[in-house]
Amino acid sequence: MTDTAPTYSGPQRILSGMQPTGGLHLGNYLGALVNWVALQERGAACFYCVVDLHAITMPHNPAELPDAVRKAAAAYIASGVDPEKSAVFAQSSVTAHAELAWIFQCVARLGWLERMTQFKDKAGKDKERASVGLFTYPVLQAADILVYKATHVPVGEDQKQHLELSRDIAARFMRDFDCDGFFPLPEPVIQGAGTRIMSLKDGLKKMSKSDPSDLSRINLSDDADTIARKIKKAKTDPAALPDNVEALADRPEAANLVGIYAALAGSSKEQVIAEFAGQGFGAFKPKLAELAVERLAPVANEYARLINDPAEIDRVLAKGAERARTVAGPVIAEVKDVVGFWR
Ligand code: AQP
């Protein structure tokens, strides 16, 4: 898999999305949402979708999906995404995503997909029974990005491999159809101290919506008491915090809490260690809880207000979809010309 030299000279565009597969959590917030907001504030054209097409790659309840989309959109807005500045919409309401995904399925190679570690993790041992959609998930993700000719994609560390695949698909499309410069090679934006937040119960497992234990994560809907209780119950070890970051290498739970503190404070792990070296978790956890409540309680309050007004969220989603279609529509029309479809 090789990239061609980027020759794209179009405008900067930002695309990202999250699955409506459960309430959003601290990992989604620190790994992605804070960067979504930062990019929006820099004035870039931002497209933030709720990826419901991705959500049906695993068993789901159709009766619950529309509300799950509204809740995810509410969490975006409560976290600082401004629907006046950024297009907030449901992926399924812009059909160009699915159309481009099919064309990209004919460009991507089976061997590329077989290397995707997220499929291996999510399919588990019984991969023969996984849906074909789960296998081709990263191809749809490439379509999500490239249907807007997005140049930058703010995501957590776990999405790095999928972003590399998007670049490979874009490069291969341009080579196969002799249209150099048609797509940008999208850059991942993986930045800050929170690019990989781990479970509060197991420092080796990613914090995840689908973890059966609610104590493993801090949800963006959790109130102040719940946040403080979950931090108090977070798994740790008996040692005090060391005086250097390297000494956290074999202490995953301690490293995770230090990383969370750094990400919430907008500082680095080194700065947190400098402040708390020699202190035990009995002293550190209350400080972390205080900071987490200060940062997250306003998000939870705004989220609670928004989900009580589903009509307003529906208006935002409809307007966002309209804006998204005005960009995606011409791109998919051009793609159809490039591949030679009759129209
Ligand atoms: N633990 C995490 N740390 C940092 N970033 C994270 N992200 C997810 N978990 C963490 C980032 O959030 C964005 C949206 O992810 P997603 O909803 O598309 O799916 P996911 O990565 O599969 O998230 P979950 O919580 O683990 O969901 P389930 O349990 O449904 O699979 C992405 O940018 C991701 O990097």
How do residues 275-320 score in pLDDT, each as one tens digit? 999 999 999 999 999 999 999 999 999 999 999 999 999 999 999 9
Residue 4 has pLDDT above 50, yes or no: no
Centre of ligand 1 from the C-alpha of residue 343, in Å: 39
Residue 3 has pLDDT above 70, yes or no: no
Ligand 1 pocket residue status of 159, Cβ below 6 Å: yes
**Largest CA-CA distance found in the chain, in angstroms, rounded:** 70
- What letter represents residue 237's amino acid? D
All domains in the chain, ordered by first residue: 13-196+310-339 (3.40.50.620), 221-305 (1.10.240.10)
Q: Is 206 a catalytic residue?
A: yes
Tell me the β-bridge partners of 245.
none
Question: What's this model's pTM, rounded to 2 decimal places?
Answer: 0.95
Residue 9 has pLDDT above 80, yes or no: no
Q: What is the mean pLDDT of residues 54-63?
A: 96
Residue 214 has pLDDT above 90, yes or no: yes
What's residue 8's pLDDT? Answer: 77
Out of 85, 201, 205, 209, which one is annotated catalytic?
Answer: 209
Q: Whose CA is nearest to atom 12 of ligand 1?
A: 28
What's residue 2's pLDDT? Answer: 42
What's residue 107's pLDDT? Answer: 98
Distance (Å, whole) CA 247 – CA 323: 49
DSSP track, 125-191: T-GGGS-HHHHHHHHHHHHHHHTTT-SEEE--GGGHHHHHHHHHHHHHHHHHTT-TTSS--PEEE--
Ligand 1 pocket residue status of 28, Cβ below 6 Å: yes
Ligand 1 pocket residue status of 203, Cβ below 6 Å: no
How do residues 152-188 score in pLDDT, each as one tens digit? 999 999 999 999 999 999 999 999 999 999 999 999 9
Name the phi and psi angles at 261, rounded to 5.
-60, -45
Q: Whose CA is nearest to atom 18 of ligand 1?
A: 18
Per the CB < 8 A criterion, the answer to whether 259 and 197 are in contact is yes
